[in-house]
Amino acid sequence: MELDLGVLRSAERKHLLDDLAKALSENANIAGAEGDAALEMVLRSVVVAMSSAIEDLAENDLSLAEGASARAIELIAVLHRRHPEYANRGLLH
């Protein structure tokens, strides 16, 4: 998956990364509720990492922001593949 966040302003990139972190957190809650502890732990770890670096990613490191966003979307897709009953519930805003 290739993302081009360079077309967005810094504030828009920050908002997108923030939304992805929130979506990952919601997905982690679902994984936990479904007893998928490994996926929950990975999702929560990525949320912590993204949340602590959102400002820097949005303003200074476009390449890393694109990579982190792509990985976040891939992790959301993993939850949807493992638990397809959640695939159409708007977990990616």
Break the chain into its structural domains and give their ranges.
10-84
The whole-number pLDDT of residue 64 equals 86
pLDDT tens, position by position, 27-67: 999 999 999 999 999 999 999 999 998 888 888 888 888 88
Structure-token pair, residue 84 = 């397809």
Question: Is residue 2 scored above 60 in pLDDT?
Answer: yes
Total-model pTM = 0.83
Phi, psi of 50 (to 5 degrees): -65, -45
CA 66 to chain centre: 11
Structure-token pair, residue 5 = 């966040």
The whole-number pLDDT of residue 93 equals 44
The whole-number pLDDT of residue 55 equals 86
